[in-house]
Chains A and B, each alone.
Chain A
Amino acid sequence: DIQMTQSPSSLSASVGDRVTITCRASQNIRRYLHWYQQRPGEAPKLLIYVASTLQTGVPSRFSGSGSGTDFTLTISSLQPEDFATYFCQQSDTTPYSFGQGTKLHIK
């Protein structure tokens, strides 16, 4: 199975900060990497698919990059509603798998 490793697992930041979360796959997943945001008590919400395509309705401060095994999610200027947990997920090979999550805290 493909292992997905996110870093950091926790991150403290302030409104207006630029933050980057990384996700590494244990083998080549081409660009089948997606990013989700999850707020407490809610289902995950798709932010970016196939590494860098912004889902409709998602603010442009979110961006993604990478291919192969290394990927990043960047939020260019944090807003109060961005404090949540972020997950990466690979869908190159079944069983599809998720990273362990990065919890973004307000500093």
Chain B
Amino acid sequence: GNSVTQMEGPVTLSEEAFLTINCTYTATGYPSLFWYVQYPGEGLQLLLKATKADDKGSNKGFEATYRKETTSFHLEKGSVQVSDSAVYFCALSDTGFQKLVFGTGTRLLVSP
């Protein structure tokens, strides 16, 4: 079945450091890929998405490229801020776009 694997956290960085959170997936067909962010005590917010191979999703300085050949959708940001501290979830939509399959989440901690 479909699955998403994310790097384990927590990821601890200093402000202005470069961020990469790895995400790989297993899926049949051609899923859409998503990154969601969850701030403490809140629900999930869509951060970015990509719907086909080689698409790049970007938002708020974050970006991720849909790589079909490596089945990956790694999240990157050039310079993180303390306010980026949150849990980041990689997800895919299954064929038929009915349900999202999530990774286990990666906690990011950014210190001043």
A and B: bona fide binding partners:
no
Please give the residue numbers on chain B whose beta carbons come within 8 Å of chain A beta carbons, in ascending order. none
Please give the residue numbers on chain A whose beta carbons come within 8 Å of chain B beta carbons, in ascending order. none
